[in-house]
Amino acid sequence: MSKQKRQRTTAQPPEKLTGLKLGSIPESAGGLTAVGVALQHVQREMGTLRGFKLLSKLNQHDGFDCPGCAWPDPDKERSSIAEYCENGAKAVAEEATLKRVDAKFFSKNSVASLAELSDYEIGKMGRLTEPMMLKEGATHYEPISWTDAFELIADELNGLQTPDEAIFYTSGRTSNEAAFLYQLFVRLFGTNNLPDCSNMCHESSGQALSQTLGIGKGSVTLEDIHKAEVIMVVGQNPGTNHPRMLSALQKCKRNGGKIITVNPLPETGLMGFKHPQQVADLVTGATTLTDIFLQVRINGDVPLAKALMLMLLEAEQTTPGSVFDHAFIEEYCDGYNQFIANLKKYDLGEMIDRCGVPEALLREAADLLIKHDKIIICWAMGLTQHKNAVANIKELVNLLLLRGAVGKEGAGTCPVRGHSNVQGDRTMGIWEAPKEAFLKRLGDEFNFEAPRKHGYSVVPAIEAMHREDAKVFIAMGGNFISATPDTEYTAEALRRCKLTVQISTKLNRSHLIHGRRALILPCLGRTEKDVQEEGEQFVSVENSMGVVHRSRGALKPASRELLSEPAIIAGLATSTLGEESGVDWHWHVEDYDRIRDAIEACIPGFEEYNKRVRQDGGFYLPNGARERKFNTADGKAHFTVNTLPELEVGNDEYLMMTIRSHDQFNTTIYGLDDRYRGIYNERRIVLMNPEDVKAAGLQQGEAVNILSSFNGVEREARNFLVVPFNIPTRCIATYFPEANVLVPIDNFADGSKTPASKSIVCRIEKRG
Ligand SMILES: Nc1nc2c(c(=O)[nH]1)N[C@H]1C(S)=C(S)[C@@H](COP(=O)(O)OP(=O)(O)OC[C@H]3O[C@@H](n4cnc5c(=O)[nH]c(N)nc54)[C@H](O)[C@@H]3O)O[C@H]1N2
Ligand SMILES: Nc1nc2c(c(=O)[nH]1)N[C@H]1C(S)=C(S)[C@@H](COP(=O)(O)OP(=O)(O)OC[C@H]3O[C@@H](n4cnc5c(=O)[nH]c(N)nc54)[C@H](O)[C@@H]3O)O[C@H]1N2
Ligand SMILES: [Mo]
């Protein structure tokens, strides 16, 4: 790599190290330490009293939805003390911080100087307080009025040759009300360029599930989790990313359920759990969660699923009718014969070798799956971010179908969603590939012809900006530069835009890597009171299990200048579309009930929206798979034939996954510790098998560079410290977003285009 190229790394977090400390790995998650850490974060950001007052509203019926993950709340009774987790408390503290990033801050700090800070440092600066603009060639952001900001955007948008030259990104924290208005504005403007964070997240699940079961969402409810006999948790780290799931797993275990975990890492939270709010747990110790731990190689899930299904087939052949649910298969499924014929072609021994799990353990797991048919499979990014991600999920659907484990109590699919409203945003029409029926209803209701041409998802959007086919980029939340793959390529794409606009609560790197002109439009967060013309408003969100419920903020907004997301959209739409749109945007925003009425008119399942959303706990959206109504073309659930991933790791290479530490929410870095993995005060680390460390002649704590080479392009991430860890050989792990520079833009999942950020072929180079 040339010297010049190396210097141009300002789009990445800086290389500087913060001082790695290694500690012991705890045996269980939760407990009093979790409570203590949560309180530290709350105290530091917002003061003890204010913090406690706010936390008492978190996830309560009349309170606000946690801005963290999408794990559901109990339908009826809620704990009056605390219906949240350590990481939920951190998420709240981060948003409700008392620190402010105001005009004075921007006049003192140039964009270039801020870009030299780490994501942790940037995030800790505080909440944005007023609209800011970066003029072409300027070094500092300056204040701009809301009216001027809207006009500027309208001029740029209306000056484009076609509406398809604009891109409208959404991150999954946006409420249903804001998401619906946003997509309406974008489609009235004339494009379906609505990429969203889901494209990098559960898109592979959506694809696999709609093709096989006729709905792109999971089929289970929280009650099902409690009642399951076997739960497989595959490629997911709930102790960190969905901590409240641990109490649901604990309930399942107390009802006699068993848990099989499939993961390259023995994640602490899945091994043991102490409920931080149950005194008995704190006294008597942790509940063991995982009964069988299958330590799969990275991207070894297809061979692993095939191995398990071959074992099921063996048992079925020995005693026909004892394992497969033939009545279910006959009545509801298609493709069984082709599937079985194909499965028989695979050699069990080879599948076992390829997944890397000892045969005895696989047999134990298969035995549980043979003896019980109330089976739930939960999964997250460990499955969705590979080239063969869609196949990963389809194989697990095959497994469930064989056992008739879909659409009955205690059984089904459970893709555990990330952002708190990512599922709702898609329901609202944030999708670059909308269905005809949806576009037709939208057009009929609002009297226009919605564009039919599909738009760009995230990866094609970046490529379009890189080619300069797209020139204006607007983001409703999120942190596009740090969340997307191939950091330097994406930075170049954004720099080529004429205008980049970020609608945000907090400062992030996407404000610093920008187009020729840039705008920051600050908005209200979940925790804050949203007062409009007709009084205080609430918004609504859909959780991972399809429950739509309300969320009402409690705090005084961080600044008087902030607008709500719906109000910002109304401003954008009014100035861009003028009278032409025929929609009275501001009238809708005066009372969000009016937006919900419009949603009810356009989207099935939202009948009596305003009434039902006011019930405690909200309401369930219809879910065909849950009732064995498979909305595929032929009304059947589909077995599918999936091939094995290609073997791709050479002798001096490793397969790398980019994962989350315990102290971050995506690109928001709460702190520098990863307590459940025993790693403290450093994010630039690479987890390696101790044998690999030795074989490569490396030492614990030694600094290395990581290189990835794909389709002839070499990428480099510099200065990572080696941490020997319990991970399969030839597999390594780094944190996202530090390692995103290594994720090739053109390496993504077949069918869903989700970047393959969990299987990057890499080399490791000692730093001279
Ligand atoms: N506190 C907190 N909560 C969050 C988030 C956060 O960053 N912080 N992010 C939110 C979002 S948007 C999402 S999508 C979710 C993410 O939730 P997760 O998917 O749990 O997050 P990751 O850290 O990406 O973890 C992936 C897990 O998959 C495993 N894995 C990696 N590769 C493979 C593989 O090939 N096979 C198998 N079987 N396992 C593999 C890793 O070891 C890890 O345990 O969490 C949400 N909740
Ligand atoms: N290498 C690698 N890359 C990944 C992943 C991975 O596992 N590995 N995971 C992927 C996944 S699963 C996801 S979901 C994406 C996440 O991608 P994004 O959703 O784009 O990223 P976040 O870090 O969640 O966005 C955080 C920013 O959102 C803004 N924000 C927070 N709350 C609000 C709000 O209420 N309103 C508005 N308007 N803004 C708000 C704040 O300014 C904050 O800085 O990243 C993906 N990227
Ligand atoms: Mo996500």
Q: What is the pLDDT of residue 279?
A: 66
User: Residue 410: inside a domain, yes or no?
Assistant: yes
Three-state SS string across 13-51, please? CCCCCCCCEECCCCCCEEHHHHHHHHHHHHHHHHCHHHH
Which residues are paired to 522 by β-bridges? 504
Q: What's the confidence (pLDDT) of residue 82? A: 57
State residue 4's pLDDT score.
37
* Token code pair at residue 727: 């991970």
- Whole-number pLDDT of residue 2: 38
* Residue 645 backbone zone (phi > 0: left; psi -120 to 50: alpha; other: beta): beta
- Cis before residue 737, ω within 30 degrees of 0? yes
Predicted pLDDT at 81? 47
**3 state SS of 616:** coil
Q: What is the per-residue pLDDT for 283?
A: 66
* pLDDT tens digit sequence for 500-539: 999 999 999 999 999 999 999 999 999 999 999 999 999 9
Q: Closest residue (by CA) to atom 37 of ligand 2? A: 477
Which two structure tokens, joined as six digits, stand for 687?
Answer: 């987890």
Q: What is the DSSP letter of 596?
A: H
For the ranges 53-62, 340-349, 364-373, 541-550, the lowest mean pLDDT is seen at 53-62
Give the separation between CA 378 and CA 388, rounded to whole angstroms.
Answer: 18
The last residue of a domain, from among 366, 387, 415: 415
The alpha-helical segments, DSSP class H, found in 603-677 are 609-612
Q: Is 290 in the pocket of ligand 1 (CB under 6 A)?
A: no
Please give the pLDDT value at position 83. 60
pLDDT tens-place string over residues 598-612: 999 999 999 999 999
- 505 and 448 assigned to the same domain: yes
Measure the CA angle with vertex 549, ends 545 and 555; round to 5°.
125
Residue 709 belongs to a domain: no
**Contact in structure between 671 and 123 (CB atoms under 8 Å):** no
CA of 569 to the centre of ligand 3 (A): 24
How far apart (Å, rounded) are the C-alpha atoms in residues 581 and 611? Answer: 28
Select from 660, 670, 688, 740 the residue to mutate for testing ligand 1; criterion: most ligand atoms less than 8 Å from CB.
660
* Residues 71-130: tens digit of each pLDDT: 988 877 655 445 678 888 899 999 999 999 999 999 999 999 999 999 999 999 999 999
CB of 370 closer than 6 A to ligand 1? no
In 3D space, the residue among 567, 426, 478 whose CA is nearest the CA of residue 170 turns out to be 478
Please report, for residues 356, 673, 695, 720, 759, the alpha-carbon distance to residue 685 in angstroms, rounded to integers and kept in the order given: 24, 11, 18, 5, 17
- In order, the DSSP letters of 408-457 are STT-EEEE--SBTTHHHHHHTT--SS--HHHHHHHHHHHTS----S----
Pocket-testing residue among 169, 171, 512, 741, ligand 2, by greatest number of atoms within 8 A of Cβ: 171
Q: Are strands 127-128 and 100-101 parallel, antiparallel or unpaired?
A: parallel
Residue 62 pLDDT: 82
Look at residue 78 in the predicted model and tell me its pLDDT.
59
Give burial (CB, 10 Å; 0-12/13-18/19+) of 583.
Answer: buried
Measured from the CB, is residue 235 less than 6 Å from ligand 1? yes
What's the number of domains the chain is made of?
2
Residues 707-720: b if buried by 16+ CB within 10 A, e if exposed? bbebeeeebbbbeb
Residue reference for tokens 């929609």: 583
Of 624, 651, 668, at which residue does a domain stop?
A: 624
- 128 falls within a domain: yes
Q: Does 383 map to a domain?
A: yes
In a domain? residue 613: yes
Evaluate: CB of 675 within 6 angstroms of ligand 1.
Answer: no
CA 674 to centroid of chain Cα atoms: 19
Mean pLDDT, the chain, whole residue set: 95
Give the distance (Å) from ligand 3 centre to CA of residue 419.
6
Q: Which residues pair with 294 in a beta bridge?
A: 262
Residues 409 and 432 grouped into a single domain: no
pLDDT digits (tens, 9 = 90+) for 290-300: 999 999 999 99
Distance in Å, CA 704 to ligand 1 centroid: 24
What pLDDT is recorded for position 39? Answer: 86
Choosing from 420, 666, 760 the residue with most ligand 2 atoms within 8 A of its CB, the one to mutate for a pocket test is 666
Q: Which residue's CA is the nearest one to ligand 2's atom 39?
A: 477
Among the bound ligands, the one closest to the CA of 482: 2
Identify the pLDDT of residue 32: 83
Instruction: Give the dihedral of Cα atoms 387, 391, 395, 398; nearest 10 deg.
Output: 170
Percent pLDDT > 70 in the chain is: 97
Output the pLDDT for position 688.
98
Taking the C-alpha atoms of residue 157 and residue 153, their distance in angstroms, rounded to an integer, is 6
Residue 61 φ/ψ, nearest 5 degrees: -55, -40
How many Å lie between the centroid of ligand 3 and the Cα of residue 124? 22
Percent share of the chain, pLDDT over 90: 87
Q: What's the Cα-to-Cα distance from 344 to each of 311, 313, 338, 341, 582, rounded to whole Å?
A: 11, 9, 10, 5, 60
User: Of 415, 442, 458, which residue is a domain's last?
Assistant: 415
Domain harbouring 90, CATH code? 3.40.50.740
Cα of 140 from ligand 3 centre, angstroms: 32
Whether 471 and 397 map to the same domain: the answer is: no
Same domain, 335 and 292: yes
- Rounded to whole angstroms, the Cα distance separating 418 from 235 reads 13
3-state secondary structure 225-250: HHHCCEEEEECCCHHHHCHHHHHHHH
Whole-model pTM over 0.75: yes
- For tokens 């039902």, the residue is 612
Which pLDDT value is given to residue 357? 98
Q: Is the CB of 236 under 6 A from ligand 1?
A: yes
Distance 544 CA to ligand 3 centre (A): 12
Q: Residue 5: its pLDDT value, please?
A: 40
Residue 158 and residue 240 in one domain = no
What residues are in contact with ligand 2 under a 6 Å CB criterion? 171-173, 197, 200-201, 381, 385, 418-419, 476-480, 483, 503-506, 508, 523, 525-526, 565, 658, 666-668, 736, 740, 743, 757
* Same-domain check for residues 261 and 171: no
pLDDT in tens, 156-179: 999 999 999 999 999 999 999 999
**Domain containing residue 279: CATH number:** 3.40.228.10
Q: What is the DSSP letter of 575?
A: H
Q: pLDDT of 686-743, one tens digit each?
A: 999 999 999 999 999 999 999 999 999 999 999 999 999 999 999 999 999 999 999 9
With residue 389 as reference, give the H or E element that holds it: helix 389-402
d(CA 267, CA 252): 19
* Residue among 95, 458, 474, 479 to mutate when testing ligand 2 (max atoms within 8 A of CB): 479
Domain residue limits at 362: 203-415
Residue found by looking up tokens 């409208």 in the block: 168
4-46 pLDDT, tens per residue? Answer: 343 344 799 999 999 999 999 998 888 888 888 888 888 898 8
Closest CA to 289 of 247, 235, 242: 247
Which of the pair, 69 or 169, is modelled with greater confidence? 169
Closest-approaching ligand to the CA atom of 242: 1
pLDDT value of position 77? 64
244 and 303 share one domain: yes
Distance 219 CA to ligand 3 centre (A): 19
Q: Which atom of ligand 2 is nearest to the CA of 668?
A: 23
Output the six-digit token pair for 424.
């709702």
Distance 184 CA to ligand 2 centre (A): 23
Position 647 pLDDT exceeds 80: no
| Identity of the amino acid at 331 | E
